[in-house]
Amino acid sequence: MPQPPPARKSLGQHFLRDEGVARRIVRLLHLDSEDLVVEVGPGPGMLTGLLRDAFPASLILVEKDPYWAEIRRAEAADRPFPPVSVITVDALRHDWSSYASPCKIIGNLPYNIASPLMWDLFSMAGGLRLAVFMVQKEVGLRLTAAPGGKSYGALSAWVRNFCNPRLEFLVPPQVFIPKPKVWSAVLSFFPLPPEERPAKPESLAYLLRIFFQQRRKQLGVILRGHGHTVSALEECGINPADRPEALFPEQFKRLSDFF
């Protein structure tokens, strides 16, 4: 068998090589025989093999790298159960809205796509029942940060309007090839009931972006600077003198209903 190619820096590839860590990650997904599972970026297949051994109903692999997609496709042909389908696509361009049926999603996410991918995935995959992702430690801390701190931002508020994130454990650099310069974090994400999610996600996204692009300014100043009045803030019982980082995720959601 030819030597596999080295990890591609352009794709942010850092391959997990520690089976113990991989088992801990897969266990968090609480798999059973009825689950549809989606893995983002399987690469050499450390998580993939454990997912298959858990015998879910089916497994979808979303892999941008054609080399690893073809390897995983060949494996699927040799072992028909559980059924595995491989989609060669950039996860940032994948149609996450197509996952309307119950599913679980897992992945060791490349650092360079984790934030934008989660922004899209959690708001679009209506059938999501549970997600487990490994991300850069800094991103993990942002996702679980409380309002009022520097780590709390647009991604924090956005994601937590669709699901509850939980930091499970940290992963050191030496369990990857090549070794990254930073630690990683594994998080579980538990989707909120549909009735608790934003009614106007486009408005929420708009507000989060304009607010956190100027996070040191007062909320009222930011809104007036974009041609809005502060009446919506007052309707929501929010002080126009507050700064964006002071608001809880549900306050942003309530405010988005006015835009």
Q: What is the CATH number of the domain that holds 209?
A: 1.10.8.100
* Residue with token string 């059973």: 32
Is 78 part of a structural domain of the chain? yes
pTM of the full structure: 0.94
Cis omega (within 30 of 0) on the bond before 83?
no
Number of domains, the chain: 2
Domain containing residue 222:
201-256
Instruction: Round the average pLDDT of the chain to a whole number and report it.
Output: 94
Average pLDDT over residues 188-215: 97
The residues near 20 (Cβ < 8 Å, ≥ 6 apart) are none
- 3-state helix, strand, coil split of the chain in percent (to 5) is 40, 20, 40
Q: At what angle do helices 19-27 and 46-53 cross, to 10 degrees?
A: 50
- Residue 3 included in any domain: no
Number of neighbours of residue 241 by Cβ within 10 angstroms: 12
140 and 20 part of one domain: yes
Final residue of a structural domain among 196, 212, 230: 196
Q: Quick one: average pLDDT of 239-257?
A: 97
- Coil, strand or helix at 241: coil
Is residue 23 in a domain?
Answer: yes
Task: Identify the CA nearest to 177 among candidates 2, 8, 3, 1.
Answer: 8
217 and 152 belong to one structural domain: no
6 by Cβ neighbours in 10 Å (0-12 / 13-18 / 19+) ranks as exposed
The residues pairing with 58 across neighbouring beta strands, listed in sequence order, are 36
* The CA-based dihedral angle spanning residues 108, 110, 113, 117, taken in that order and rounded to the nearest 10 degrees: -10
Domain boundary among 196, 218, 244: 196
CB-based contacts of 38, cutoff 8 Å, min separation 6: 59, 60, 61, 62, 99, 103, 104, 105, 106
Where a domain ends, among 172, 196, 220? 196
Query: Would residue 1 count as lying in a domain?
Result: no
Q: Do 20 and 106 fall within a single domain?
A: yes
pLDDT (tens digit, 9 = 90+) per residue, 35-64? 999 999 999 999 999 999 999 999 999 999
N-terminal to C-terminal alpha carbon distance within the chain: 58
Q: What's 13's domain CATH number?
A: 3.40.50.150
- Name the band, by pLDDT with cuts 50, 70 and 90, for residue 9: low
On whether residue 2 sits in a domain, the answer given is: no
Least Cα distance to 240 among 249, 256, 229, 226 occurs for 229
Helices (H), the chain: 19-27, 46-53, 66-78, 114-124, 137-143, 154-159, 201-212, 219-225, 231-235, 249-256
**For residue 10, is pLDDT > 70?**
no
Residues 6+ apart with CB under 8 A from 75: 45, 48, 84
- As a whole number, mean pLDDT of residues 198-208 equals 97
In terms of domains, do 134 and 215 share one? no
Average pLDDT over residues 207-234: 96
The reply to whether 46 and 102 lie within a common domain is yes
Q: 132 with 205, same domain?
A: no
- Whether 7 has a pLDDT exceeding 70, the answer reads no
User: Are 126 and 216 in the same domain?
Assistant: no
Answer yes or no: do 21 and 122 share one domain.
Answer: yes
Residue 188 domain flag: yes
